[in-house]
Amino acid sequence: MKDAVFPSLVFHEMGYESAHFGQGQWNGVAILSKVGLDNVVNNFAVGEPDGEARIISATCNGTKVVCVYVPNGRELDHDHYQYKLRWMKQLKEHVASYAQSAQDVVVTGDFNIAPTDIDVWDPQALVGSTHVSAPERDVLSDLCAWGLTDVYRQQHPEPKLFSWWDYRDGGFHKNHGMRIDLLLASASVANRTTMTVIDRNARKGEKPSDHAPVVMQF
């Protein structure tokens, strides 16, 4: 949503500081915090600014938080797919500029990339599709190589645990989903993480998102 209509006052009354970077009805990212919200950066800190509102960063009580909405990619032969790969490479440059791997760092959001085959309901059904292609997984691995751990997967190694299900064909009830909403944390955070969970119940409400919330506690 646009910044002008973001419900900052509502969150303030609930005890949260908030920072929002929005654009129309499609793109937007936000960070809410009860422990402080400083050094807010909208868009990338290095390189050319993105034309879409897809990344926001802030420091919350010493933890560097980067919230992202990675481009979908659409189709492998689409220009948007190349945009997605470039975007992910620029994300790594941004994280390296904004934080140090020895600090408390969390990079989180909708990555539109399933890290491995166990993160999708049927790898064979998705061959030739975005979200699972080798180049996408490679740029995600490159980002993690900077010093980030997929903490949900670290705590939950079992397959068929998803955060997104297509609205069509009863995808949620069939558990035909993908794990594309990630919590990537630096070692100092990952080592102190006591709980991670995908809240499937939130996906069952009236007019829910096709994504479920992914939660971590450290």
45: left (phi over 0), alpha (psi -120 to 50) or beta: alpha
Spot the catalytic one: 50, 104, 110, 181.
110
Determine contact, residues 114/131, Cβ cutoff 8 Å: yes
Residue 190 and residue 108: Cα distance in Å, rounded? 13
What's the angle, vertex CA 30, arms to CA 72 and CA 143, rounded to 5? 50
Q: Is 110 a catalytic residue?
A: yes
Q: Is 69 a catalytic residue?
A: yes
Residue 185 and residue 149: Cα distance in Å, rounded? 5
- Pairing mode of beta strands 181-185, 105-110: antiparallel
From 187, 77, 188, 176, select the one nearest 135 (Cα to Cα): 77
Residue 3 and residue 30: Cα distance in Å, rounded? 10
Spot the catalytic one: 50, 69, 104, 152.
69
Q: Which residues are catalytic?
A: 69, 110
